[in-house]
A and B are shown apart, each in its own frame.
Chain A
Amino acid sequence: MKHVIVIGGGIAGMQCAAELARGGIRVTVLEKQSDTGGKLRNWHKLFPSLTPAGEVLGGLNHTLRRLPNIDVRTECEAAELSPRRVVLATGEELECDAVVVATGFTLFDARIKEEYGYGIYDNVITSADLEEMFNTGKVSTTSGAAPRRIAFLHCVGSRDEKVCQRHCSKVCCVTGVKQAMEMKELFPAADVFNFYMDIRMFGPGYEEMYREAQQRCNIHFVRGRISEVSPTIDGRLQIKAEDTLTGRPLKIGVDMLVLLIGMRANDMNAVLEQRCGLERQTSGFMRPRDQFLHNTESNVAGIFYAGAVTAPKSVGESLNEGTAAARGVIEYLAAKECTDNSTIDE
């Protein structure tokens, strides 16, 4: 029985492992956290349908446990890999016939954008923090009060050369719209302002959701990036930006500021490049062999990619790539067996 190692037990890795197991392949999933699910474990609801993240994750976990020949190894990190061998951080070596890298992304550390005051002032939180608040059911300012005015800032750690993140993280726009609507639902009396550079609604139903946020929920969209945040004497936050559509500077006091943090490439990607011969893009994300016909293959035969390891992706896209990568692996193994057999025949 062929053996494939999937590195990363996030949604792309889980989907890929399930597809491989269905194809009669023995799979080992390496997950560095204590459980599978990756970033989705901390998310509350998914855009645009507001499907609970737990529903998607529950489905994936159920499939993974039900299928035979899947071995999930948690708290287990890969240090080096080649198409036939993966070396763990502990030094243990695992033999295999192919490897799928589904290591995902790292959330941008908002503290780097010091001017927004994350980790310095109270009530400056990230989109990920807000999802955790939704999960615990305790959404409030630090003092426990209901916020009367909430601001969202798009593109934190995205499209920003000053923090070496030139790329667009793709999903923050729609996440910002989704979270703004959720906040309006929780606090109907609050004013919600979204500060954006561009609103990129790339998926089905997203644009409709944006319009609903504007028209039905009365969420104010101000085109302009916040330049700085400062605390006020009454414990609120003052925001400065340009309202670029009127061409005038704007300031506003808010009770809560949510930073829509982007996706950045894992530090591990540099190791993959240096030690494993894999290619990286300038964004730091791994480079697929081809953008169109081979986007789940790496430049090394036998090493595949699935999910956000190659670029920021939505949940649906990552799941699709899990399936696509598995198909690629199955074809690769079949073709390899053919050539191996023909070599023996000779």
Chain B
Amino acid sequence: MINFGYSINKPRVIDIDRNNLHKSNEILREMPELQACIGCGSCTATCTAGNLTSFNFRKVHTLVRRGEYQGAYEEMNKCMLCGKCRLVCPRGINTRGVVMLIKRKLGDF
């Protein structure tokens, strides 16, 4: 078959109604402080992994909270657990704990 280079894009929309929020709710139940995130990006700005790779902790945990788990575990594997993000978080969130929790909950995803 001739490949004309056309393809169909997968929709990029986050569909809260279709997403299974079960895991996300579980994560938030175990660490409700993650909900206190104000999206300032301090964690990502200070992140060593984020400065060298495309890892964006703020974005990944926000996606997880919306029920978008695809690739989150692999992303979290980029974290080196240095804990600098936890030092700078203005909301005092145990960000390193969040990384571990997400990995634990989504390991089999």
Whether A215 contacts B35 by the Cβ 8 Å rule is yes
Are A250 and B14 in touch, CB under 8 angstroms?
yes
B38 / chain A contacts, CB cutoff of 8 Å: 199
Q: A218-B32, A243-B66, A246-B63 are known contacts. Are A252 and B17 too (CB-CB below 8 A)?
A: yes
| A180-227 with Cβ < 8 A to chain B | 199, 211, 214-216, 218-220, 223
Q: Is the CB of B35 within 8 A of A249?
A: no
Max chain B Cβ within 10 angstroms of own Cβ: one of A199, A216, A250:
A250
Determine if A251 and B14 form an interchain contact, defined as CB atoms under 8 angstroms apart.
yes
Bound CA span A245–B14, Å: 12
CB <8 Å contact, A243 and B62: yes
Q: How far is the CB of A87 from chain B (nearest CB, A)?
A: 51
A214, A245, A251: the one contacting B16 at CB < 8 Å is A251
The answer for the CA separation of A219 and B36 in the assembled complex, in Å, is 10
Residues of A263-286 at the interface with B, using a CB-CB cut-off of 8 Å, are none
Q: Which partner residue on chain A sits nearest B25 by CB separation?
A: A218
Quote the shortest CB–CB distance from B37 to chain A (angstroms). 8
Q: How many residues of A contact B (CB 8 A)?
A: 19
**CB-contacts of A242-258 with B (<8 A):** 243, 245-253
How long is the Cα–Cα vector from A110 to B101 in the complex, in angstroms?
42
User: What's the minimum C-beta distance from B82 to chain A, rounded to whole angstroms?
Assistant: 23
B15 near A251: Cβ-Cβ < 8 Å: yes
Instruction: Supply 22 A–B pairs (Cβ within 8 Å), ascending by A.
Output: A211-B91, A214-B35, A215-B32, A215-B35, A219-B35, A220-B35, A223-B39, A243-B14, A243-B66, A245-B58, A246-B14, A246-B62, A248-B12, A249-B12, A249-B13, A250-B16, A250-B66, A251-B14, A251-B16, A252-B16, A253-B16, A253-B17
Using CB atoms and an 8 Å cutoff, list the residues of chain B in contact with chain A. Answer: 12-17, 28, 32-33, 35-39, 58-59, 62-63, 65-66, 68, 91
Chain A residues with CB under 8 Å of chain B are: 199, 211, 214-216, 218-220, 223, 243, 245-253
